[in-house]
């Protein structure tokens, strides 16, 4: 039984097989591929900063940051000011926040029978877009992070402006998503306390319990994150064991006979990436509590993603404080990138999880470019013997609607998956 999944930045086809009234396999097919990696071949390296954000309209900024870091990795030595690093991290953080708000209000809530509240998605996301625009000039699709730093300079007035956008977004969160003081919410380590609150998040979580959905969406309980910054650390976690010792060398892509999206594995195993993975690796108390009670199910996945909103808002305030405006925003690299022969790679945490870019530069042009997106990890199309993460999460469900819900808790994005 084939179901067309829409409104996911494109579309996907899920082909369900049932046995004894239960889903026993799902074939996931993404039908479009634009082949950005090919478009990049032969281009001047810096042009990738303009092209790559166009991989995706909702997480293009993560592609920009991954690109600039991959290009900088081609240098043996390159100096980037702390200020530039902080600004890059800030804008990427704002993109994550806008994504989560959109996912929660445009995708998740309607799946629980609520009317889609577009304005609740657009109001806070516009604040975040403005905050990015203060540094980057516009959102979406700026290319303001360039090899050597960022193109903008900012003044105290800009900082004040950005701070107000953040405060306003926090207020929105406290009024709508979880009606509580964010400061308390951030240190909360007990999901029961959240369930007692009012707000759009507790509403959904209560629904999950009421509808007896708590067993839905379990997968391998195996998580990985490659991106590292002042908030996220890299590592992997399986059940309760976490290690930070991982290497991108073990990441392998495999093409997929049935779909235009490639599967990606770490040491030959599927891993889940994204907010739940990050929270498990970073040991976020509230998410750990959800996971301890319910495992890697939809409840944990939803609470993890929404929880990132106040965490990141709060963290971005701290980052703003750390900005030293007297530092340079940009330090011209001593060697022009077109004079470089070399390879570079980068990993950043995008909204949906780890995003990896790899580039080879030869004679001043891009010889090869490789992009591994978060959704390739989560939405890989495995076989019956070896299921992908979201496939496994759908096995055993009794109907297609619930399966679609489970699928979408991974925050599906078709354009990124296939790029």
Site membership for other proteins, residue 168 (CB under 8 A): no
Site membership for other proteins, residue 129 (CB under 8 A): yes
> What torsion, rounded to 10 degrees, do the Cα atoms 162, 313, 406, 383 define?
90
Interaction residues for other proteins, span 322-361 (CB under 8 A): 328-332
Site membership for other proteins, residue 82 (CB under 8 A): no
Q: Considering only residues 161, 206, 288, 367, which one is a binding residue for other proteins as defined by CB under 8 A?
A: 161
Site membership for other proteins, residue 167 (CB under 8 A): no
Give burial (CB, 10 Å; 0-12/13-18/19+) of 76. Answer: exposed
Phi-psi region at 52: left, alpha or beta (left = phi > 0; alpha = psi -120 to 50): alpha
Query: In angstroms, rounded to a whole number, what is the distance separating the alpha carbons of residues 285 and 271?
Result: 21
Question: Quick check: 364 and 349 in contact, CB under 8 A?
Answer: no
Structural element, H or E, at residue 69: helix 60-72
Site membership for other proteins, residue 47 (CB under 8 A): yes
Site membership for other proteins, residue 125 (CB under 8 A): yes
Instruction: Rank residues 135 and 294 by Cβ distance to other proteins and give the closer one.
Output: 135
Interaction residues for other proteins, span 286-305 (CB under 8 A): none
| Beta bridge partner(s), residue 241 | 238
Q: Considering only residues 9, 73, 168, 203, which one is a binding residue for other proteins as defined by CB under 8 A?
A: 9
Q: Considering only residues 64, 66, 92, 133, which one is a binding residue for other proteins as defined by CB under 8 A?
A: 133
How do beta strands 235-238 and 222-225 pair?
Answer: antiparallel
Identify the CA nearest to 156 among candidates 148, 144, 164, 168: 164
Interaction residues for other proteins, span 58-77 (CB under 8 A): 58, 60
Instruction: Rank residues 84 and 389 by Cβ distance to other proteins and give the closer one.
Output: 84
- Cα 222 to Cα 129, 262, 266, 286, 306: the distances in Å are 33, 19, 11, 18, 20
Summarize as ranges the residues that interact with other proteins (CB under 8 A).
4, 6-7, 9-11, 31-36, 38-39, 43-44, 46-47, 49-51, 53-58, 60, 84, 102, 106-107, 110, 116, 118-119, 121-122, 125-126, 129-130, 132-144, 146, 148-153, 155, 161, 328-332, 415
């Amino acid at each position: 039984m084939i179901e067309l999944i829409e409104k996911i930045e494109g579309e996907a086809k899920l082909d369900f097989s049932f046995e004894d009234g239960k889903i026993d396999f799902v074939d996931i097919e993404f039908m479009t591929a634009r082949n950005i990696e090919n478009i990049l071949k032969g281009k001047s390296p810096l042009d990738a900063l303009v092209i790559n954000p166009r991989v995706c309209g909702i997480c293009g900024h993560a592609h920009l940051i991954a690109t600039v870091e991959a290009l900088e990795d081609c240098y043996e030595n390159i100096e980037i000011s702390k200020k530039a690093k902080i600004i890059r991290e800030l804008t990427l953080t704002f993109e994550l926040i806008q994504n989560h708000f959109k996912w929660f209000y445009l995708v998740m809530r309607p799946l629980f029978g609520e009317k889609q509240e577009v304005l609740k998605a657009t109001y806070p996301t516009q604040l975040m877009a403005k905050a990015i625009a203060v540094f980057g000039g516009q959102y979406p699709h700026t290319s303001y992070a360039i090899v050597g730093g960022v193109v903008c300079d900012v003044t105290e007035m800009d900082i004040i402006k950005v701070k107000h956008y953040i405060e306003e977004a926090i207020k929105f969160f406290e009024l709508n998503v979880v009606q509580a003081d964010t400061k308390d919410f951030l240190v909360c380590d007990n999901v029961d306390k959240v369930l007692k609150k009012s707000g759009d998040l507790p509403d959904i979580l209560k629904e999950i319990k009421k509808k007896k959905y708590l067993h839905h969406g379990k997968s391998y309980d195996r998580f990985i994150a490659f991106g590292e910054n002042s908030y996220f650390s890299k590592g992997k976690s399986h059940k309760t064991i976490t290690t930070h010792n991982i290497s991108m060398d073990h990441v392998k892509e495999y093409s997929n006979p049935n779909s235009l999206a490639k599967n990606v594995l770490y040491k030959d195993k599927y891993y889940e990436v994204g907010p739940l993975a990050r929270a498990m690796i970073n040991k976020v108390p509230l998410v750990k509590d959800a996971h301890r009670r319910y495992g890697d199910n939809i409840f944990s996945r939803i609470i993890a993603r929404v929880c990132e909103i106040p965490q990141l808002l709060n963290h971005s305030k701290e980052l703003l404080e750390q900005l030293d405006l007297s530092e340079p925003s940009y330090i011209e690299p001593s060697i022009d990138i077109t004079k470089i022969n070399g390879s570079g790679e980068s990993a950043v945490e995008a909204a949906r999880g780890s995003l990896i870019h790899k580039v080879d530069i030869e004679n001043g042009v891009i010889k090869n470019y490789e992009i591994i997106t978060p959704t390739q990890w989560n939405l890989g199309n495995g076989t019956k013997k070896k299921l992908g993460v979201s496939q496994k999460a759908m096995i055993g469900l009794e109907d297609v609607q619930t399966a679609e819900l489970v699928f979408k808790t991974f925050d599906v994005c078709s354009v990124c998956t296939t790029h």
